[in-house]
Structure formats: C-alpha cells, structure tokens
Structure 1
C-alpha cells in the first residue's frame, strides 16, 4: 500500500503544473506592530507566547561594520516581551547565553527553544521560557542529539519536529536529520526519525498542516574550489506524515531559502513570504543589494498546487513566525544581506 501511495503521489506530482494555481488569492492582511527597540534589529530570534504575552529573544546582527567590511557578528541574550499589539516592548530577562539561529515554538504557556549558535559555535541545548507573574523562568529540556543551527522546525499537534541544519559554522554539508520531541510527555527525549529523502538542507521553510510536517526549499551545501561552503539552491517540497513517512510534493515555483518559518497555516494551506531566491547571490556592490523578493506563495495541500500571492510588504529572511492574537507575528529578521530590521510584522486573514 505504501509503495502504491508513493507511486500515485509521484505520478500526481508529475502531472500537476508548476505554474501558478488557478485559485483565488486569500487576501492576507498585513500591519506593523511596534518595532523592537534596537536600531539594527536581529536575525533568527527565538519567538513564542507565554500566558498571552509575545516573546522575542536572542538573535544576531552586525552592530558596527558590515561583513564585507570585516565586521563582526554579535549574538544577544535579551528576552523582549509585548503584552498587546498596541503595547511597548519590554526587557523581561536573558537567555541562558547569547544565542540565535535555533528553533522555537509555543507549547501551552511556554516557549520551547532548541539548538542554535553563538560566537564560538553551535549548541545542542534546549530549554523552555515562560512568564510567571511577569517574571521570566527558564526550564531545561533534553539536549538535541548533536549541535545544530539553521534548522527547520514546526510543531505538529504535540510533537516538535526539527529537520536538517548544520552542526558547525564551517560545515560544507548540511545535516540529513529529522528529530522529534513529544512535548506532552515530560519524560520524552528526542527521537531520530528517517530524514527527508531529498538533498540534505538548511534554512528550509517548515510547516504544520493537517497533522503532517512539511519541508519547502532551503539550501544544500557543498565544498567549493577554495574549500569553503557553496550553496545548492533548492525548490523541492516534501511532506512527512507520522506513521507513513515522507512523500514528494510538487516543486515550489521559485527557490526559497531562509524565508520566515514555520510557514503560517491558514484554512487553504501554508503561506511562504519573501525569503532568498538566490537570484542576487554575490551581488555587487553589497550596499546596493535590492533585497529579497517581496512576493508570497501558498501551498494548497488538498490539491497539491501552488498559488502565487499578492506582493508582501517586506523583504525578509531568517525570521521566526509565531501565532498570536488570532494572527501570525514575524519579529525582526534580515532585510537584505548584512542588514537587519527592527520591524515586527503581523499577518491576519
């Protein structure tokens, strides 16, 4: 049966056109929330909700010179909170150490944080943040099987899935991994599951829809002539169904790397916004980089088709997405290579 399902899926994927799906635009509504009180903003923060309060923590930026000028990336440990959309960001405390580029998800009244990097390498640490009468409390969780950053993640029911990433800053290959932690089980540890059959990748967009875990695009890595990592730009799509395994889906209409993730889940499917399409890789001069595509995509799981959405109001990569106040929040992120933004965006239907 599984073989038959895979065969049918493969035939369906071959028959479904990669062009824009003939469906109506879901007319997403965008608005700005109060910006983070930092002139630069941060890439790849941890984000979630505790007792109705939005948290955004950690991340990294270049506070002095840009990377092509020899600037040094700095990681942060500040935990910011926002009580309501019209409120003001407040400092609530610190992470256990400066961190960014990890996974984060809301579970009950905690923000689950796993993996990431700091100035000297990658970590396997995992912990939960919560607000207790306004005070920040940190709880340790089981460590990941190995250090990891730039991964993809999504919460499917009570299980947090983490896929791919890299285990060290100078890696020339991405990880072929899928880890799962059942958050409803206090005694659970990370389980190693069959990895995505496609190219091992980092910075893919993950999503949760209909009880399955989705993985879109991202970048593979290979060693270039100089021995340094070179990206393999990907636009394939996959679905992992618990108890059934991986299934190949129709390719994305364009490459998507480091788009805000996990993808917001709406009634029609999963929404992908902006992200790097690879078309401006190596752009010179760096200061004139036009930014990432201001466009969106919607994957419709019921039909296995892609819909190109109306333009989104930002150029953005390496930013988390978290559900809050009936919509989806994208705090800070990378506006173009080397430049962050303190802007915080809110998406609603």
Structure 2
C-alpha cells in the first residue's frame, strides 16, 4: 500500500510568499515535489481569465482576457485590452503597463516564436475571432508592439497551440460561442514558409480522434527520436449532454498519425500544462466538471476547482496524481520564464478570477 506524506513549509523571502509542498510516495515510486513562490500580483486587482500569456525578449507578457466586475454575480463579463509586462531587475520584479491590444479580447491560443508571442483567435463580447497577431517587447520604449499575422482559416476560441521546430500546431476549439461548434481539426503552419508573418499559411493534418472538444490540454514533448504532441481531456457536447473528457492522444508529425494512450485520472478542463524533462508532462489543476452545471446554484459557495496535479510519463505511459496545488487556476497558461514555470492569473471558481502570479518549481529542476 502506498504511503503518502505531506510536508508544508511557509516562509517569507524578500517580502514574497514562499510555499513549498513536498509529497513523498513510497512503494517503488520516486519522490515528487512542487515549490510555489508568489510573484507580484497582476496590477488588475480582479485578475483575468483567458489572457494571452507568454514570453518575449526576456519578459513575461499577460495581455487581454476577461473578468466580471464585483459583485460578480450581478455584472456581465468584460473583456480587456491591456498588455502587462513583468520584468526582473537585480532580483526584484515589477509590472509595466506596456500598451493595448487592437481590441478587448481573450481565450485565444498562444505560442512563443522567434518573431514574438503569436496570439491566435479568441473571442470578444460579440464574436469568435480569426485574427492573429504578434506581441513584441521593446526594451527601449518599454512597450509591446502589436504586429499583424495571417488570420486563421476559421474562427477559433478555446483552442490550444504548441510548437515543434518550424511548425505551429493549433488543435480543436470552438468556431462559435456554443460548445456544439467544437471541432476535431488539427491545423499546422510552417514558420519557414515566409519571413512575412502576414503570408504564413495553414494546412490541415489528420483530425483528432474521439470527440470534438474545447478547453483541452495540448503539449509538445519528445518520445524517443520523435517530437510528439499530446492532446488530453477538455469538454465536448453530444446533443444536450455535456461530456467531461479524460482521453489522451499522441500525435506523431512524422507519420501524421494519432495513437490513444491511457486515460487521465480525471477531467482537467482548461488546466495549465507544460512539458518537463525526461518524457514528463505536468498538468497543474483543471476543472473536473463535478460542479460545472451547478455554478448558478452554488455561486459563492462553489468550492473551487480540485487542487490536484497530474504527471504523465510518455515512456512508461503511466499517470501519477502526486500533489495538491496551493491554488488551482484554470483558463490560463503555464509557461517557462527564467527557467521556471509561471502560472499567471486565471479563474479559481466560476466568475471569480485571481491576480496571483505563481512561480512553480518541480523537484529535480
């Protein structure tokens, strides 16, 4: 029988909260741990869900997104256009108001490339978007420049993107506001096709097996000699029924083919995920759907999303539920910045966002 031991240490470091959760699992399993360090909160005190998040020229960018003004159950969702940049100087962090997006929007797919932070699709208060743009941080002006890029072949919101080499992949998502418009489409764009981002073109790959979906996990990770893509979980709709997906698929670009892998221990809708070393993929939370249809009933009594983390090893094809998160933020991204995992802002329960920015350090990194 497995023995799980938990050690929590709480201290202050340079005026910043440092929370370390160490979780030891015995019975021939390696110890796993996560250290959580709070970085300065997003200047928007409510926080945002669905921001365009990534890095460029050494800074962290958090742009756009949406929230509900307080009291959250009495006000409509508002989209934002503010671009915030977090930079580090001599061990201290500060936020910079670095410009605005062309319009208030969020919930698009994002990937960092040499030309900047590529933002794809999303939505605003009126429609699902096809537009794509690049965000470039200019150190001299202390502003983010917004540059146009070729649009998507079709509108897309709640899709997910990943990069392998010169290719950017965009998987699934919704074409319209309703979940019944979710797709199985896997798009691919070759960055080497042109030096002009407005001339980039998209092509279809073999579609995703299983259900059409949105709010899924999509991560690139190496397996053997191949760079592969892993598409997991999400939400789908079949007639009037909402499906909380736990399936797990591996895509190999070399063969343009999919392979089904062991299901997740739980649904992780909109959970931030990132590739680690040694064939591992870490999912930091997500919504399991338990209270999804009860949000209006529970309101402020909603317990929040499950505080669990999941680790998948694509070599052994095994899952581990190995940690309880300090905070489960969904509809945001996990990105690498300064060699650490960053989870910025996001949603902690229906209609409620958080301005918290967490630096997460897995053991062994």
Cα distance change of structure 1 residues 302 and 168 upon mapping to structure 2, 3 Å threshold: same
Cα distance change of structure 1 residues 333 and 155 upon mapping to structure 2, 3 Å threshold: same
Give runs of aligned pairs for residues 1-349 of structure 1, distance below 5 A.
23-67=29-73, 69=74, 71-84=75-88, 86-108=92-114, 110-132=116-138, 133=140, 134-186=142-194, 187-210=199-222, 211-224=227-240, 230-244=241-255, 245-261=257-273, 263-283=274-294, 284-348=297-361, 349=365
Unaligned runs of 5+ in 1: 1-19, 225-229
- Alpha-carbon distance between aligned partners in 2 of 1:196 and 1:79, rounded to the nearest angstrom: 33
| C-alpha contact 1:105 1:112 (8 A) present in aligned 2 | yes
| C-alpha contact 2:221 2:279 (8 A) present in aligned 1 | no
Cα distance change of structure 1 residues 21 and 178 upon mapping to structure 2, 3 Å threshold: farther
- Report SS of the residue matched to 1:282: helix
- Report SS of the residue matched to 1:286: helix
Moved more, 87-96 or 127-136: 127-136
| C-alpha contact 1:21 1:308 (8 A) present in aligned 2 | no
- Report SS of the residue matched to 2:184: coil
1:229-270 Cα shifts (integer Å, max 9, x gaps): x52110000011102211101100111111014x24333410
Moved more, 246-255 or 306-315: 306-315
Pairwise CA distance, 1:329:
1.0
- Report SS of the residue matched to 2:300: helix
Instruction: Output the aligned Cα RMSD.
Output: 1.8
Pairwise CA distance, 1:25:
3.8
- Alpha-carbon distance between aligned partners in 1 of 2:214 and 2:190, rounded to the nearest angstrom: 23
Pairwise CA distance, 1:28:
2.5
Partner of 1:13: none
Unaligned runs of 5+ in 2: 1-25
Larger RCO: Structure 1 or Structure 2 (Cα < 8 Å, ≥ 6 residues apart)? 1
Which structure shows the higher strand fraction?
A: 2
TM-score in terms of structure 1 length = 0.88
